[in-house]
Amino acid sequence: MAGSTWSSLLSFELSYIAIVIAGLSMIICLQRKFSLAVTIFIYIFFAALVYFIKIISGYADKLPVPGGLPYIFLVIFLFKGNILKILFMLFFQLIVSSSLIVIFCMSICFFFPPDSAQYLNLMTILLVLVFFFYILLTLKHGRHITEKFFDGGSEKDWTLYLISTFIIYTFLFFISKIHESGSILHFASLIFIIWSFAILCYAIINAHDKTRNQHEANFAREIIASGEGHYQRMTELLTTFRMLRHDSKYHQNVLLDLLHKGETNKAIEYLSGQQAQFQQLVPSSFCENQVINALLVHYAGQFRDLSVEYVFNAAIPDKLPVSDYDICIVIGNLLENALTANRKPLAERKIILEITTNVKQLIIKTENTCDESNALAEAEIAMTKQLGGKGLGLRSVKIVTDNYNGILYINQSNNIFTAEVLLNFMNSEIN
């Protein structure tokens, strides 16, 4: 009799075990609106409240989501970000935790009756061990996996992802309610549902990876194109220098003739004109690294065309323990954002780029004028938006920053927008 009572209680509690595990996983993986302690307190208080109300009322949980709509509103209240992504992560965690519970229930039922002491003991031990290791894995890899999911997709895509995940969880929920002890059919249905969920997750991550790779390929083509343009200008400049060198004897003859005639002022005027022409031809050199210099020359030309004041201080040596391609991703996207902000009619238009290095780090900082709207909020939203849309640049910068265990800091003070990137060298020093 005691075993039967404990079996019924365990069956009633399983959905709440899934809720607790899902909640802990979401707290680990998602950005919270409140501190960790406050978030955990609100979550536990709500779960306990729903639990006791159901025990007192005697209401058996019949909804696919324990707690129903209030629980959905709770997770939206607790976590930051897109609502569709938050709800997707809710059902993702519920599917994982519920699948583990149900698959153990069904598997053990093949060997022991559900109301037996062996079943209860084995079930309890397995759940404790599996969820302990699941939480440890979530602590180690949860945020990374979440970013892989969130790194892409439009609102339409995420609506489809959410609906698909909810349908999978609904099937899983009803399978858990109707399964019979030792039923091969129900067990096969469970495996099919879990397999379908795995395929969905793989498809989402794979689609986002392809989108990101396509963006990086497009950006690489732009960098190469700007480098080719810089190379072409250097070739043309070399040809011009050769012509000037060839013609220098004629200029010397003119100067000597003017000086012999005592026309010093005309000689100075002629020489000044030659010097100004020569200075116009000398290319801008911002740093020793020719790849980065080509990129800076490219953007310097665009800022000049828009009559935007710019200051580039780039103390970058020829070689760094950071990929030139990654540096170009960061600098190019930050300057592109600054260029976009300064296309608007502003009282003052200016961009300052500061790049410095030390033994272990590369620091890239941009300050640019912007309009009086909340550029900071727009930038923060942009970093969480899909690739291929607004905020593509900052999202790419964030990806590179994370690859180097670095920091991306953005801020706005009045009409000045600041972005600062710190990249850590990977166990290397500057060459």
DSSP conformation letters of 39-53 = HHHHHHHHHHHHHHH
- DSSP state, 320? -
200 and 291 co-located in one domain: no
Domain boundary among 162, 179, 213: 213
Residue 45 counted as domain residue: yes
In a domain, 79, yes or no: yes
- CA 20 vs. chain centroid, Å, equals 28
Last residue of a domain, one of 213, 235, 263: 213
Letter for the amino acid at 180? E
Statement to judge: residues 198 and 317 lie in one domain: no
The secondary element (H helix, E strand) that includes residue 310 is strand 309-314
Q: How far apart are the first and last CA of the chain?
A: 76
Token couple for 308:
């935007």
- What would the pLDDT profile of 305-331 be if each residue is shown by its tens digit? 888 888 888 877 777 788 877 888 888
Is 400 among the domain residues? yes
Tell me, yes or no, whether 82 and 172 share the same domain: yes
Please tell me whether residues 207 and 295 are part of one structural domain: no
Asked, for residue 405, whether it belongs to a domain, the answer is yes
The per-residue pLDDT for 59 is: 52
Same domain, 28 and 167: yes
Q: According to the model, what pLDDT value does residue 428 have?
A: 46
The answer to whether residues 209 and 289 belong to one domain is no
Q: 389: domain CATH number?
A: 3.30.565.10
Domain span at residue 389? Answer: 285-431
- Rounded alpha-carbon distances, angstroms, from residue 175 to 4, 44, 110, 120, 310: 21, 27, 16, 20, 64
Asked if residue 162 and residue 39 are part of one domain, the reply reads yes
Number of domains in the chain: 2
Which residues of the chain fall below pLDDT 70? 1-16, 51, 54-55, 57-70, 178-182, 215-255, 258, 267, 270-285, 372-393, 426-431
What's the CA gap between 393 and 399, in Å, rounded?
A: 10
Mutual angle of helices 68-78 and 36-57, in 10-degree steps: 170
Virtual torsion, Cα 376, 379, 384, 389, nearest 10 deg:
150
Residues 24 and 124 in one domain: yes
Q: Which of 135, 131, 114 is nearest to 181 (CA)?
A: 114
Q: How many residues does the structure list for the chain?
A: 431
Structural domain contains residue 378:
yes
**Residues 294 and 198 grouped into a single domain:** no
Q: Are residues 64 and 202 in the same domain?
A: yes
Task: Decide if 80 is inside a domain.
Answer: yes
Q: Which residues of 39-78 are buried (b: 16+ CB within 10 A; e: fewer)?
A: bbeebeebbeebbeebeeeeeebeebbbbeeebbebbeeb
For residue 290, the SS3 value is helix
Residues 207 and 312 in one domain: no
pLDDT of residue 381: 44
153 and 35 in a common domain: yes
Beta strand 361-369 pairing with 407-413: unpaired
pTM over 0.85: no
Domain's final residue, options 198, 213, 228: 213
Would 231 be classed as within a structural domain? no
Each residue's pLDDT tens digit, 54-78: 667 655 444 444 455 667 788 888 8
Cross-strand bridge partners of residue 366: 353, 419
Q: 76 lies in a domain?
A: yes
